[in-house]
């Protein structure tokens, strides 16, 4: 006889991935509920409504798994973190770019989880979540395409025949003869530009509305970092006569009244800069030119410091919820010593 999921404790991987899924989707619910208050375009409203339904179902299912285990449900983000009556901060078009940006981040989290799951219920949860997220991203892309709002990745000519690399200078990028970008390098520079232009617009908005001066300055610093990364990526494409993605800063209104708590906005940017660490590292692993490798190394260092500083700001304000941890054996031994 097989054992039911309830007879087997959740593993650390299952706890961590479900915990992150729950917390992230409580944040997204706050953001999407605010978007719903202002969206006017019926096609974009349908996408926002679908995104909110998806977040709701993920929060409910993750909470149910924790409750069955008598596991404390994370606090995450609540009604206290969103002001639904705040004026419009973004134009409708931004909602599509934002949902593509966050949908990619969610898909990365959920797809990595599947091979780590050992219980049948958690495998089913993440398998269904990946499938639902993929369907949703396809819908977002289709609406972007239908409305002429999506710049496709650059085209390159088809090769006439298969070819092999003959000289070591294929890897060079700083001096001498530098080969053109290959397809995977272009794809990941484009994808990172797509993320970064959306991230920059979000940082513009957050810096306008943040209540605390120190947090406002932190968002401005994030905007400067992101702007440098965008310019570096654009330059690599332009050197090869290839187009980049458009800026989205114009999709932020002039409102200075915040729809979100500083806690939510700060956590949001910490999580999204963490996502960009993953995408930069993935791009670096598929790169074949030393100059591009050096570019991603700089990007990773910038983002790593920014994420660390964001965590420190959250901790200093007691806003950072503790992710479940392994047992501290040294602490247990110390307690025993004091008995």
pLDDT of residue 1: 45
Please name the fold of domain 8-146. Answer: Ferritin (1.20.1260)
pLDDT of residue 329: 79
Indicate whether 160 pLDDT > 70.
yes
- Beta bridge partners, 260, equal 82
Indicate whether 14 pLDDT > 50.
yes
**Is the whole-model pTM more than 0.85?**
yes
Helical (H) or strand (E) element with 36: helix 12-38
Indicate whether 2 pLDDT > 60.
no
Q: 228: pLDDT confidence band, cut at 50, 70 and 90? A: very high
Q: What is the CATH number of domain 176-316?
A: 1.20.1260.10
Residue ranges in 69-118 assigned as alpha helix (H): 92-113
- Check: CB of residue 193 under 8 Å from CB of residue 274: no
Q: How many Cα atoms within 13 Å fall on the side-chain side of residue 125?
A: 27
Quote the CA–CA distance of 126 and 41 in Å, as a whole number. 31
pLDDT of residue 91: 98
| pLDDT, the chain, mean | 93
Burial of 33 (0-12, 13-18, 19+ CB in 10 A): middle
Report residue 28 as tokens: 């997204």
Q: Taking residues 159-179, what's their average pLDDT?
A: 75
Quote the CA–CA distance of 66 and 73 in Å, as a whole number. 6
Indicate whether 132 pLDDT > 80.
yes
pLDDT of residue 336: 63
Q: Taking residues 201-228, what's their average pLDDT?
A: 98
Measured in degrees and rounded to the nearest 5, phi and psi for residue 240 equal -105, 15
The full set of domain ranges for the chain reads 8-146, 176-316
Give 7's DSSP letter.
G
Does 176-316 match 8-146 at the fold level? yes
**Tens digit of each residue's pLDDT (9 = 90 or more) over 46-91:** 999 999 999 999 999 999 999 999 999 999 999 999 999 999 999 9
Return the higher-pLDDT residue of 330 and 130: 130
Indicate whether 316 pLDDT > 50.
yes
Indicate whether 283 pLDDT > 50.
yes
């Amino acid at each position: 006889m097989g054992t039911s999921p309830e007879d087997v404790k959740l593993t650390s991987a299952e706890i961590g991935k479900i915990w992150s899924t729950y917390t992230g989707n409580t944040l997204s619910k706050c953001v999407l509920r605010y978007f719903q208050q202002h969206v006017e375009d019926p096609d974009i409203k349908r996408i926002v409504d679908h995104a909110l339904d998806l977040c709701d179902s993920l929060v409910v299912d993750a909470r149910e798994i924790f409750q069955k285990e008598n596991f404390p449900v994370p606090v995450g983000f609540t009604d206290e973190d969103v002001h639904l009556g705040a004026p419009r901060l973004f134009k409708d078009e931004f909602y599509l770019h934002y949902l593509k940006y966050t949908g990619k981040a969610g898909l990365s989290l959920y797809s990595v989880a599947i091979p780590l799951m050992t219980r049948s219920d958690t495998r089913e949860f993440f398998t269904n979540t990946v499938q639902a997220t993929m369907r949703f991203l396809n819908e977002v892309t289709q609406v972007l395409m239908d409305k002429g709002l999506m710049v496709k990745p650059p085209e390159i000519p088809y090769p006439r025949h298969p070819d092999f690399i003959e000289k070591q200078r294929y890897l060079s990028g700083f001096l001498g003869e530098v080969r053109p970008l290959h397809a995977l390098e272009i794809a990941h520079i484009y994808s990172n530009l797509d993320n970064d232009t959306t991230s920059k617009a979000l940082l513009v908005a957050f810096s306008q509305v943040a209540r605390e001066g120190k947090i406002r300055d932190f968002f401005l610093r994030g905007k400067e970092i992101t702007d440098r990364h965008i310019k570096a990526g654009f330059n690599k494409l332009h050197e090869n006569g290839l187009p980049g993605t458009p800026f989205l800063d114009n999709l932020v209104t002039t409102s200075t009244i915040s729809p979100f708590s500083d806690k939510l906005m700060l956590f949001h940017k910490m999580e999204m800069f963490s996502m960009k660490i993953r995408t930069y590292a993935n791009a670096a692993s598929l790169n074949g030119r030393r100059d591009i490798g050096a570019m991603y190394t700089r990007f990773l260092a910038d983002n790593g410091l920014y994420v660390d500083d964001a965590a420190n700001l959250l901790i200093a304000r007691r806003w950072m919820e503790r992710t479940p941890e392994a047992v501290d054996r040294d602490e247990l031994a110390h307690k025993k010593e004091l008995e």
